[in-house]
Amino acid sequence: MFDAGPARLQVSSRADKVMVVVPWLPAGLDAAEEVAEQRRLLDELIRAWEISRYALWYYTPMALPFTRHLDPAVTVFDCMDELSAFAFAPPALLDLETELLDRADLVFTGGQSLYEAKRQRHPRVHPFPSSVDVAHFAQARANLGEPDDQAEIPHPRLGFFGVIDERMDVELIGELAVRRSDWQIVLLGPVVKIDEASLPKAPNLHYLGPKRYAELPSYVANWDVALMPFAINASTRYISPTKTPEYLAAGKPVVSTPIHDVVRPYGERGLVRIAGGADGFVAAVEAALAQHAGNDETRAVWLRAVDEHLAQTSWDRTWAEMEALIAGAIRPRRSRQHARV
């Protein structure tokens, strides 16, 4: 714990050369006081650890108010989502994003659609669609044991893992459960920003809650089809779901609603079935179940196509490309026009 008055920083190491720092603020502060305390804590940390040359890497523009006075060697805006389209987005988000785009040396986007939306707003925007830890999820292609809370659920099983929020088409899930009561639908993940009471309920709907990353292959290994039942709305317009390549690395047939960055490239290459509406989604799941139970040669052809696609990407490759761009964007100290004292 790094104490600095009533506010403090909790510092922990999660991996080699990685430090996680969490600010703890006293209750009752207003918005201006919260910004002032975070700025003070950050400055104290920089002084205490004698940090003199650094990059600022933003996942959200909401961090600007307590960091805009700093003088980094390079500033990266890692734009993973169109955050302003999410439920309960702060009113200041759009103005802060405009400021961050002005300050950033590089902008990375979490998918092709997001790249196309941002490329006119900054001269150095680079798309980095979701990659995958292939070896981790490929464990699901082996005969892994059943997790206890899934073991008694009959087959066929349709599964989803991820946050359950306004991006999920809960009406579609409910309709799927009603139309095909013989299908068991397994949903893993926390419920966020929506009322749990609003989720559809049925004997064949199983909400198993959040799971650790290390546990996911054992769940997916025992599904018959993996689902991506996203709603088509403002919050999903620019998403590039990481679970797409994760499901494929696990060797599972995938059915998705028509999300732009899933249709292109996964749908166009025949790696994922795309379907809109309850009728189309049911038909696509039926086809996916037939694929899962089909002859070995048909499945082998599909898996070869999957593996050829996944071989083109990895998190290591993504980082190597990002690192090269960052190295080329580093500037001398105090060259930044926006630096503040």
Q: Binning pLDDT at 50, 70 and 90, where does residue 244 land?
A: very high
- Give the bridge partners for 159, in sequence order: 186, 226
Where in the sequence is the domain holding 111, given as residue range(s)?
A: 2-129+318-329
- Burial pattern 168-194, b for ≥16 Cβ within 10 A else e, equals bbbebbbbbbeebeebbbbbbbebeee
The per-residue pLDDT for 150 is 98
Is the pLDDT at 14 greater than 80? The verdict is: no
Is residue 119 located within the same domain as residue 166? no
Q: Is residue 211 situated within a structural domain?
A: yes
Q: Is residue 232 situated within a structural domain?
A: yes
Is residue 216 located within the same domain as residue 154? yes
- Residue pLDDT, tens place only, 78-96: 988 776 666 666 777 888 9
Is residue 229 located within the same domain as residue 298? yes
Contact between 14 and 28 (Cβ < 8 Å): no
> In the chain, how many domains are there?
2
Is residue 15 located within the same domain as residue 68? yes
Which amino acid does the sequence have at 59? Y
For residue 262, give every residue at least 6 positions away whose Cβ sits within 8 Å of its Cβ, in sequence order, or none.
228, 240, 241, 244, 256, 272, 274
Is residue 161 located within the same domain as residue 124? no
Q: Give the range among 167-181, 204-218, 230-244, 304-318 with minimum mean pLDDT.
A: 230-244
How far apart are the C-alpha atoms of 164 and 321, rounded to whole Å?
32
Is residue 19 located within the same domain as residue 150? no
Q: Is residue 120 situated within a structural domain?
A: yes
What letter does residue 280 receive in the DSSP assignment?
A: H
pTM of the model: 0.84
The per-residue pLDDT for 120 is 87
- Quote the mean pLDDT of the chain: 89
Is the pLDDT at 162 greater than 90? The verdict is: yes
Q: Is residue 334 situated within a structural domain?
A: no
Q: Is residue 292 situated within a structural domain?
A: yes
Tokens of 223: 């599904």
DSSP string, 95-131: HHHHHHHHH-SEEEESSHHHHHHHTTS-S-EEE----
Q: Is residue 180 situated within a structural domain?
A: yes
Torsion, Cα 315 270 289 167, to 10 degrees, reads 60
Phi, psi values for residue 293, rounded to 5°: -95, 5
217 closest CA partner among 299, 319, 327, 143: 143
For residue 333, give every residue at least 6 positions away whose Cβ sits within 8 Å of its Cβ, in sequence order, or none.
53, 71, 73
Sign (positive/negative) of CA torsion 95, 340, 40, 10? positive
Q: Binning pLDDT at 50, 70 and 90, where does residue 5 land?
A: low
Is residue 115 located within the same domain as residue 194? no
Q: Is residue 339 situated within a structural domain?
A: no
Q: Return the CATH number at 244.
A: 3.40.50.2000
Is residue 143 located within the same domain as residue 10? no
Q: Region 9-37: what's the mean pLDDT?
A: 85
Torsion, Cα 209 211 215 217, to 10 degrees, reads 70
Is residue 164 located within the same domain as residue 305? yes
Is residue 165 located within the same domain as residue 125? no
Is residue 44 located within the same domain as residue 75? yes
197 three-state secondary structure: helix
Is residue 71 located within the same domain as residue 148? no
The per-residue pLDDT for 212 is 96
How far apart are the C-alpha atoms of 113 and 286, rounded to whole Å?
29
- Residue pLDDT, tens place only, 43-80: 999 999 899 899 999 999 999 999 999 999 999 999 88
Q: Is residue 341 situated within a structural domain?
A: no
Q: Give the range among 72-76, 91-95, 280-284, 300-304 with minimum mean pLDDT.
A: 91-95
Contact between 156 and 183 (Cβ < 8 Å): yes
